[in-house]
Amino acid sequence: MNRVTWAIFVGAILWLSVGCGRVQSSDHGVASAARSTPPTAPAATTPSQLPGCSQGARPEARASMAFVYMPALQEAVLFGGRGANADLGDTWTWRSGCWTPVTPQTSPPTRVASAAVYDAATGVALMYDGAGQMGGAGPIVLTTDTWAWDGVNWKQVATSGPNVAGVAGTDPVTGHVLLFGLARNGGAPETWRWDGAKWQQLSPAHTPPGLSAPTLAVDPVNNRLLLFGGQVYGQGGKNDTWTWSGTDWVLLAPATRPPARFRATMGSWAQGRGTILIGGVGRGPLLDDAWKWDGTNWSQLASLSAPRSDAAAIDAGGQLLFFGGGGPSGRYGDFETWDGAQWTRSTLATPATSPPDPIRLTGQSCSARPSTAKARALGGYYTLRPAPRWTDTGDYVHTESLLLQLTAPTTNGYGPTRINFYAFPLDVQADFGSQATAHSIAVEDATTHNRFTSRGTITTSVSDCSVAAAAAAAFGYAVASENGYWIFVVHRNRLLGIKIVGTGGISDQALQDALGMIGSITWTF
């Protein structure tokens, strides 16, 4: 057993002799997340659930659902969609990161692929049309009714309407809800307006072709509705960009255009002054690309963590959130979040139905963009910025070298996730040799760990990286149900150890938070 492991082992034995809780396997553990590339920096705020949210209350993974943000209530409503095995007819609200299941007195029938939008004139979420299997199974039934959600209950506000499959958005010019769709009886394009009580068909001088599954959102730069893509039967996907002037459709001619697609998702982001387009179905596999419309042209952004179609978007102020959808391996129950610089994926599904894939810390990914929280001084060695909603759970009396232990919100997903910071009372050169480095110390600890527990528990080789400009090295491991990482940092002949560990897996959000805390470290010696 090496010096580092022995210091932690003694602390663990003392803790077990006086405390309660599950036995920790020499304080080691392998981080898992929902992708196989190094994680990007965490966003300033996240769609992960907050303390006080219903434990385990998360909607089933789904695609083609209605998901609408209601500014007056500062919450979003989710309805229906296509689940893993059946069409859904449930209602959920999402507020400040909390999912809450709702059982309204009145509810629409099960449906998917509805046109849903916030009606600013009446302050309700409006949902039109859709197709569903009665009771979640059986023959598919097409609907043309319209429902309104007021934050408490659903109300059917029109029993019939246009016989089109379409998309809807609130027209900034007129303030009315606009519907553009493909007529089911012939495939002609149709444009309709909701006057608060019924649908009225419009007759614009120009129109997009009859499109199946285009995407529609507000262009916040020009205050116009923006329509992109869709499929023309017999011709395939399109990559045309249209805008609605308030009275007519106008075909735009941007210098750059995303590839043709349908069943994509587009979201309006006011703070980011743009409209973000993601994924969809192209002329081959599902797409994982992302694009931004700046009012005059398209520019490509970083790709998503995985291909995604049939999702839904809401503007959360500092971020644009894309929820749900479908991918190569099934339905999603998570968020892809864009903060203007990078994507963050927050996995909210339970490990029983959505186990994570292994992920490695490599290169510069031992740390990420710092958290924005207030800095906290620890032990006279360094400061860091704790991630929001992580709680202090450390036993500092019985584990001498432990400076800080923080535990993630359980609603981040999977079992409890912790991050521990150890300041070992060692002189690196005196205890490990004059040529010792963070890499050699990590290799020694990984080798000892394999002997101390069981063969084959190290799942990643030691990788070099850096933390606060100091040399660092990391490796991943797995012991029983614990998964985690060890990161060793050498700074001015002192050794800092960082452990990220979870039970059953580590959600992408928890890992992002942990890397952000590591990225916030500053030395005080």
| Nearby residues of 321 by Cβ (< 8 Å), 6 or more positions away | 47, 267, 313, 314, 315, 335, 336, 337
Q: How many domains does the chain have?
A: 2
The mean pLDDT of 23-27, rounded to a whole number, is 28
Same domain membership, residue 405 and residue 309: no
Q: Is the pLDDT of residue 225 over 70?
A: yes
Q: Which of 324, 349, 374 is where one domain is finished?
A: 349
First-last CA distance in the chain: 29
Q: What pTM does this model have?
A: 0.59
Q: Is the pLDDT of residue 23 over 70?
A: no
What is the predicted pLDDT for the residue at 18? 26
Residue 388 belongs to a domain with what CATH number? 3.40.1000.10
Q: Is the pLDDT of residue 69 over 50?
A: yes
Instruction: Determine the longest span between alpha carbons in the chain, in angstroms.
Output: 84
- pLDDT, one tens digit per residue, over 117-164 is 999 889 999 999 887 655 545 556 788 899 999 999 999 999 999 999
Dump strand ranges (E) for 350-400: 357-358, 376-378, 382-384, 391-392
Q: Alpha-carbon Rg of the chain, whole angstroms?
A: 26
Residue 171 belongs to a domain with what CATH number? 2.120.10.80
Cα angle, residue 393 at apex, residues 468 and 477 outer, rounded to 5°? 60
The two three-digit tokens of residue 525, written as one number: 């010696």
Highest mean pLDDT among 17-26, 88-97, 194-203, 381-390: 194-203
User: Does residue 346 contact residue 508 with C-beta atoms inside 8 Å?
Assistant: yes
Same domain membership, residue 364 and residue 341: no
What is the predicted pLDDT for the residue at 142? 80
What is the predicted pLDDT for the residue at 26? 30
CA-to-CA distance for 497 and 32, rounded, in angstroms? 20
What is the predicted pLDDT for the residue at 140? 65
What is the predicted pLDDT for the residue at 277? 98
Q: How confident is the model at residue 510 (pLDDT cuts 50, 70, 90)?
A: confident
- pLDDT, one tens digit per residue, over 372-420 is 778 888 877 889 999 888 999 988 876 778 899 999 887 666 667 899 9
User: Does residue 394 contact residue 402 with C-beta atoms inside 8 Å?
Assistant: yes
Same domain membership, residue 265 and residue 126: yes
Same domain membership, residue 180 and residue 106: yes
Q: Can you tell me which residue has the tokens 């290799």? A: 443
Q: How confident is the model at residue 370 (pLDDT cuts 50, 70, 90)?
A: confident
Same domain membership, residue 386 and residue 249: no
Q: Is the pLDDT of residue 347 over 70?
A: no
Q: Is the pLDDT of residue 285 over 60?
A: yes
Strands of the 290-293 sheet, one edge to the other: 265-269, 274-278, 290-293, 298-301
The full DSSP string for 432-463 is H-TT--HHHHHHHHHHHHHHHS-TT-B-S--E
With H, G, I as helix, E, B as strand and everything else as coil, classify residue 8.
Answer: helix
CA-to-CA distance for 74 and 116, rounded, in angstroms? 17
Which range of residues forms the domain containing residue 34?
3-40+358-523
Same domain membership, residue 114 and residue 12: no
